[in-house]
Structure 1
Amino acid sequence: MENSDVYAVICISILLIAPVIVSQQIPADKRQVNAWFEGIIKPVKERGNSLDPELIQAESNPKVIKVRQGGGGEFNSIKKAIESVPLGNTKRVIISIGPGVYKEKIKIERGKPFITLLGDPKNMPNLTFGGTAKEYGTVNSATLIAESNYFVAANLNIVNSAPKPEGGKTVGGQAVALRVSGDRSAIYNCNIYGFQDTLCDDKGNHFFKDCHVSGTVDFIFGSGKSLYLNTDIFVEKREGGGFTVITAQARESSSEDTGYSFVHGSITGTASNSFLGRAWRSNPRVVFAYTDMSKVVNPAGWTHNRFPERAKTVYYGEYKCKGPGANPSKREPFVKQLSGAEVLPFLTHVTGLTIIPRTSARMDQYEEQEHEVYGGEIPDEEGEMDAEFDMTAGAEDYQGNDQGLQQDPSSSKDLEDMKKRLREIEEEAGALREMQAKVEKEMGAVQVSRKAIQSLLPLPKAFHACFLSSLWLWEGSKVQAAHEIPAVLRWITHQTQKQQF
């Protein structure tokens, strides 16, 4: 495609990240969705001051970079094209990707916003890599990692090519195809393929439209606030059979404005008795509306993940779904069959730039440890359990609900810096322990009494009262400033000798 053609196509996907006036809910008739969408999403030039100023500036002069494996482009790899974008980028950069198979592990850093990866819808490029949790940690195993804001992907096949875990094993076999960690991102007409942990919908406002996601266990997980519109879900059968589940949404508190909303999609697959979601964390929020559910869905629908107390804190809802997997008669008691009023926020759950608050959930650090959250049993057709299953969390090194954003420690330099800092912290902790022991020894030697202080210091009564109150508080609560008491006594003595009180 020529540059003018590329820009004409990308205008469609740029629209996806424009803020939306959501007074109109998504129509109940799926055939009306595209017309509805085109009616409320206006071109950037028509949005005026409703857009973020930085977005208006970025879209005013977009740059196109061509990637072609057979020549004819500036680069022959996606990774090299991304590397050419400077940190602190302020303009829309459209990376036009030609057809072919790109065996690359791709990362867009947080400091490179406004990047679009665009494929040809008639001959979609394949982005593929075989990273696993065993080698990279779950969240860093992704074929494509997008950490920057205003990211757009359109017309791509994104694949984690790691083989399906043998015998249904899950530990170390997590293999992410796509991780989206930036705010205000849009994924349009993309096929996302994997098995366990296919899509890490990590954090920020995200909008998925006309996509396909396949996997086995927890294959849509994270702390994003996302709308999946007209997106199809395919549940793969696990090797040896066993537990399959679509979502593991990571909301930790009812105050967190995160969650997944699936509207006008479908659920099919080769698995059976698949759960729509499990309570991986304490307060997950997931809603399916107008969804066509095949018989692959377990009659119970959802699971509290063997944490009965979470049945009181989950928000799992369904609204006007259809198909053999949507029968509400055997759903778990904690599942909500939503009313029109209750579902409305999830039908207007469109990602915006200025009108939708940013999520409070954070995933700031990745813990390199296995975190078992479901163990011992697999639901069978009758809802009973099989004692051979031992499942590790979809992202054992995923941690949400912190404040601030930190750099993803994926490079060797970052890892070395982290190790060095950990050693420094350990040394500081050792020094603090030595200081504590010294202070405790001094405390035993001092044994200051009120009477001794009063006889030692010929000071005004008001000062006595103040100091003795402080001493009483110190003795009672063991405050951290205890090691300063000897210095305070010396200072008081010095001031007394100077006759200044």
Structure 2
Amino acid sequence: MVSFSSSCLSLSFSTFTMKLLIFILFFVPYCALAFDVKTVIDSPMLTQKIGTNRTIKVDINGNGEFKSVQAAIDSIPEGNSNWVIVHIRKGVYREKVHIPKNKRYIFMRGNGRGKTAIVWSESSSDNIASATFKVEAPDFIAFGISFKNDAPTGVAYTSQNQSVAAFVAAEKAAFYHCAFYSTHNTLFDYKGRHYYESCYIQGSIDFIFGRGRTIFQNCEIFVVDDKRISIRGSITAANRENESEMSGFIFIKGKVYGIGGVYLGRAKGPYSRVIFAKTYLSKTIVPEGWTNWSYDGSTEHLYHAEYKCHGPGAIAEKRASWSRQLSDEEAAPFISIDYIDGKNWLPAWL
């Protein structure tokens, strides 16, 4: 009996050892790999982070509470103090949408920027009046939605007419996996702390402009060439009036590509601040990189800078004399989420 028990114990131990070795050799590496995979900020994660199940469904085909996005926004009471999800199902919603200052804590959740779109067509000498989408309420989130102003280019581009896709004047606004389409003045990032993650932004002239305190993380910037003008277009037109003003556009990673030649930015104020960090720049970026063609003041206080960018458009040799190539220490305060105090209000960030 003793001999038989020892044999069984020995066999059992050997079997256990073999299984353990198999687990270590084959399964542990995959477990380790899972922890190394880049976190993806998706709709379920954001829904979980804001902690609400209060949802208003919008369906253009009538399978929700509303067919119109604006009608759903209008149904939310003024002074709203709890997160509410406005789920916009797939479809093209041809309407202008406005979220006023007194309707905060709204999460507009689309079915993906290739499936859910809010579209209007309007040009105006007033940027705000032309905007397809306007948000002024604090604490706003959008996910998986395209915002488009499809006014014809010939109408949109003149010194008197702009065609804004989105006007963002909210304090603490975040856009995840969204898209913005127009030509002249696509995204009016007017003011406040903002975060754009994995978004697509398209335009030709001044198509990201304003005085927001903003991080663009992993965004795609696509340049549409406009050959009717001798002056090259510019991706950004940041307006910062003085040194104490906490504003400026920070682009981290992502890529810039498109058709024709374009500047990374132009100064729209004496202290204009724009930084492209660790970003792929295609040859659509002209060698000078930056321009001051619309601002008559000194370039002394401009903060147009790059940090560890790469690609054929990132060669620094012929850059504008006032532009900067930042060191690690100089870049650090700007490429941190703390630049927008994001840890205190963002539901998620990369």
- TM-score class normalised by the smaller sequence: 0.7 to 0.9
Using a 3 Å threshold, how does the CA distance of structure 1 residues 323 and 45 change in structure 2: closer, same or farther? closer
Q: Report what 1:162 is aligned to.
A: 151
Q: Report what 1:245 is aligned to.
A: 234
Q: Report what 2:109 is aligned to.
A: 118
Q: Report what 1:428 is aligned to.
A: none
Answer yes or no: is the 8 Å Cα contact 1:304–1:310 preserved in 2.
Answer: no
Q: Give distance in 1, aligned partners of 2:69 and 2:294.
A: 43
Matched, 1:152 2:138: no
Matched, 1:181 2:185: no
Q: Give distance in 2, aligned partners of 1:286 and 1:222.
A: 11
Cα deviation code 1:149-200 (max 9, x no counterpart):
111111011100101126x942232110011111111000011100000001
Residue number among 74, 83, 91 corresponding to 1:83 in the alignment: 74
Secondary structure of 1:326's partner?
coil
The amino acid that maps onto 1:198 is T
Using a 3 Å threshold, how does the CA distance of structure 1 residues 44 and 162 change in structure 2: closer, same or farther? closer
Aligned runs of 1:100-139 on 2, under 5 Å? 100-121=91-112, 124-134=115-125, 137-139=126-128
Answer yes or no: is the 8 Å Cα contact 1:249–1:259 preserved in 2.
Answer: yes
Q: Report what 2:305 is aligned to.
A: 317
The CA deviation at 1:355 is 5.0
Q: Give distance in 2, aligned partners of 1:190 and 1:179.
A: 14
The CA deviation at 1:219 is 0.4
Answer yes or no: is the 8 Å Cα contact 1:127–1:159 preserved in 2.
Answer: yes
Using a 3 Å threshold, how does the CA distance of structure 1 residues 62 and 112 change in structure 2: closer, same or farther? farther
Higher helix share: 1
Answer yes or no: is the 8 Å Cα contact 1:115–1:152 preserved in 2.
Answer: yes
Cα deviation code 1:91-113 (max 9, x no counterpart):
11111011111000110000000
Secondary structure of 1:268's partner?
strand
Secondary structure of 2:153's partner?
coil
Residue number among 255, 260, 266 corresponding to 1:266 in the alignment: 255
Q: Report what 2:282 is aligned to.
A: 294
Q: TM-score, normalised by structure 1?
A: 0.58
The amino acid that maps onto 1:138 is N
Aligned runs of 1:433-448 on 2, under 5 Å? none
Q: Give distance in 2, aligned partners of 1:123 and 1:213.
A: 13
Q: Give distance in 2, aligned partners of 1:260 and 1:68.
A: 35
Using a 3 Å threshold, how does the CA distance of structure 1 residues 43 and 296 change in structure 2: closer, same or farther? closer
Q: Give distance in 2, aligned partners of 1:62 and 1:229.
A: 28
Using a 3 Å threshold, how does the CA distance of structure 1 residues 150 and 211 change in structure 2: closer, same or farther? same
Secondary structure of 2:299's partner?
helix
Cα deviation code 1:108-146 (max 9, x no counterpart):
000000111111128521110012124xx1122111101
Q: TM-score, normalised by structure 2?
A: 0.82
Secondary structure of 1:305's partner?
coil
Q: Report what 2:182 is aligned to.
A: 194
The CA deviation at 1:229 is 0.5
Answer yes or no: is the 8 Å Cα contact 1:148–1:183 preserved in 2.
Answer: yes
The CA deviation at 1:231 is 0.2
Answer yes or no: is the 8 Å Cα contact 1:155–1:189 preserved in 2.
Answer: yes
Q: Give distance in 1, aligned partners of 2:55 and 2:327.
A: 46
Matched, 1:92 2:83: yes
Secondary structure of 2:79's partner?
coil
Q: Give distance in 2, aligned partners of 1:253 and 1:240.
A: 34
Cα deviation code 1:214-233 (max 9, x no counterpart):
11111000110010000011
Using a 3 Å threshold, how does the CA distance of structure 1 residues 258 and 210 change in structure 2: closer, same or farther? same
Cα deviation code 1:293-352 (max 9, x no counterpart):
111111110012264643101101101111111100000111110000000011104533
Residue number among 307, 320, 333 corresponding to 1:332 in the alignment: 320
Q: Give distance in 1, aligned partners of 2:317 and 2:37.
A: 29
Q: Give distance in 1, aligned partners of 2:48 and 2:228.
A: 54
- Structure 2, gaps ≥5 residues long: 1-35, 346-350
Q: Report what 1:414 is aligned to.
A: none
Matched, 1:229 2:217: yes
Q: Give distance in 2, aligned partners of 1:43 and 1:237.
A: 36
Answer yes or no: is the 8 Å Cα contact 1:165–1:173 preserved in 2.
Answer: no
Secondary structure of 2:222's partner?
strand
The amino acid that maps onto 2:171 is D
Answer yes or no: is the 8 Å Cα contact 2:211–2:239 preserved in 1.
Answer: yes
Using a 3 Å threshold, how does the CA distance of structure 1 residues 306 and 202 change in structure 2: closer, same or farther? closer
Matched, 1:341 2:332: no
Using a 3 Å threshold, how does the CA distance of structure 1 residues 85 and 215 change in structure 2: closer, same or farther? same
Cα deviation code 1:347-391 (max 9, x no counterpart):
1045336759xxxxxxxxxxxxxxxxxxxxxxxxxxxxxxxxxxx
The CA deviation at 1:33 is 9.3
Higher strand share: 2
Secondary structure of 1:80's partner?
helix
The amino acid that maps onto 1:246 is I
The CA deviation at 1:285 is 0.6
The amino acid that maps onto 1:335 is S
Q: Give distance in 2, aligned partners of 1:310 and 1:33.
A: 47
Q: Report what 2:160 is aligned to.
A: 172
Aligned residues: 305
Secondary structure of 1:346's partner?
coil
